[in-house]
Amino acid sequence: MTLTYSSYLHLPQLLELQRPRSEPPEHDEMLFIVIHQVYELWFKLVLHEADKVKRDFSTNDLYGASATWKRLRTILKTLVGQLDILETMTPLSFASFRDRLDTASGFQSFQFREIEFAFGYKRAQVSGSIPEHEGRRAVAERRLHERSVMDHFYDFLGQRSVRVPPELFTKDVTQPTQPSEPLQDELLRVYHEQPELVILFELMTDFDEGFQEWRYRHIKLVERTIGAKRGTGGSPGIEFLKQSLWKPLFPDLWAIRHRM
Ligand code: HEM
């Protein structure tokens, strides 16, 4: 059979996957489903690119890594921008079908956890929010035990005459990235001496800023849509989400700014 646009993209299957649960139908539930599915597709690509950037770092491929960070930070801009569309849904409209979500919540997004872990924001306790019976908790936990993008970044720096503190290569990889003052001194030196790396560092900072921006905008979306209600995932809602607000993925790239 000739390959067509539709068959290549498996469009009949894809377009079958939006199944609102409200009865009688609530108009905005379709938006709610489509937007979450689109997010999950972008999350899939973010993970795909994260795996590539790890390889680029470990093989000392500056141009490959920079190109991928450029793509990653651009995806983040789209992820943040899409929240505007969901904010066209009023609190009353969401309330009309929220009960249909039962305990389903973005809290259970195994790909979001994979992203956090892949970029070094490791918090073992949150993998418990992924329903075990769906078999995807193990996937996120595998990422928890893998070296993060940041660990591969240390490999890269080591190949670029940066004196990476040896303990960063032997640390427990299941722990979140910790700031390192000796590394910050080295990064500061690189900012002055190796301009080709500065472009890379700034692209990584763009991505990090984009991730923090997403968290902020998601909290504001939650606040304007459900206020102080508890989350469908069972957390206190906004207070839980605030714990991750302003926490950088790459703390060393932020910590040196006042010294420049
Ligand atoms: C009306 C829209 C939304 C509301 C009211 C909402 C509400 C919430 C709440 C209350 C939480 C805390 C966990 C819990 O459920 O107890 C949460 C977590 C989360 N939501 Fe949303 N959300 C909305 C839209 C979205 C969208 C569009 C995404 C995109 C994927 C998303 C992804 C997430 C993720 C990944 C978490 C976990 C965050 C973390 O652990 O730091 N949410 N959401």
Answer whether 232's CB lies under 8 Å from 98's CB. yes
Q: Which of 79, 93, 98, 241 to mutate to test the pocket of ligand 1 (most atoms within 8 A of CB)?
A: 241
Structure tokens at 121: 């924001």
The pTM of this model reads 0.97
Give pLDDT, residue 129: 85
CA of 117 to the centre of ligand 1 (A): 17
Please give the Cα distance from 141 to 132 (Å, whole number): 11
Give pLDDT, residue 116: 97
> Does ligand 1 have an atom closer than 6 angstroms to the CB of 240?
yes
**Residues in CB range of 123: below 8 A, 6 or more apart:** 116, 176
Q: What is the mean pLDDT of each run of 10 residues along the chain (260 residues)?
A: 96 97 93 97 98 98 98 98 97 92 90 97 89 89 96 97 96 97 98 96 98 98 94 90 96 96
CA of 13 to the centre of ligand 1 (A): 26
What residue owns the CA closest to ligand 1's atom 3?
Answer: 222
- Alpha-carbon separation of residue 227 from 223, 231, 238, 249 (angstroms): 4, 10, 8, 27
> Does ligand 1 have an atom closer than 6 angstroms to the CB of 237?
yes
Give pLDDT, residue 102: 85
Closest CA to 43 of 140, 135, 132, 124: 140
What residue owns the CA closest to ligand 1's atom 12?
Answer: 237
Please give the Cα distance from 171 to 75 (Å, whole number): 30
